[in-house]
Structure 1
Amino acid sequence: MTSQSQGIQQLLQAEKRAAERVSEARKRKARRLKQAKEEAQVEIEQYRIEREREFQTQQRTALGTQGDLSSEIETRTRQTLQMVQNSHGKNKEVVLRRLLSLVCDVKAELHANYRFTNY
């Protein structure tokens, strides 16, 4: 009987060691998964930062171009407005004199298509 109880004891100890090994293997696997997940998160964050940086650069380029265009348009508009105001100031008197002469200096004459008929 003692040999059987020794055999049972050995089996129980072997089973206990096997359970410990399985438990350790599970723990190692969990640690590896956790480590792989953390590494993946770091890679994802680096990729996101890189893409965000590229986006910011492209956005600055696009908005900078728009800013340049809007400032150029604004400058052109100011120049055109200034030219119109200068032209108005120079030609105002001439135009007024011409309009007054056309309105006030009326020459009475018959139209070229008018036919005089005696009735």
Structure 2
Amino acid sequence: MRALVRVYWQIEEHHDLATQEHMLGYFVLHESRQQRAGRFDSAHLNPFAQLSGALAYPEVRRLVTVNVLFILPFSLMGVGLPLLLRDSLGWGPGETSTVYMVVGVCDILAQGFLLPHLIR
């Protein structure tokens, strides 16, 4: 274990975070060292098969649904707001970027100051 810690801190000096995470995952998580039955082929790389396997669990399905419902409006705002502001108000890139700046500052204030008080 001391050798692992020594190697970990040597890597820390080089700031290679991905290698650190890989090593900790390999040595700490026992399931990552278990030999799996069967062979690995290219069919395992299909993202739709991976997604359908993950969505078989009700908890994961609910989590993905909530994330999609939360992220979708923000994605649509990023695409639709400049078009809406240009067509309805005649605003250009300068005014539109000001709106995005105000939304970002409000988001920072809400997450940095308001949310900690609401969590308590």
TM-score bucket of the superposed structures, by smaller chain: under 0.3
Rg comparison, structure with higher value: 1
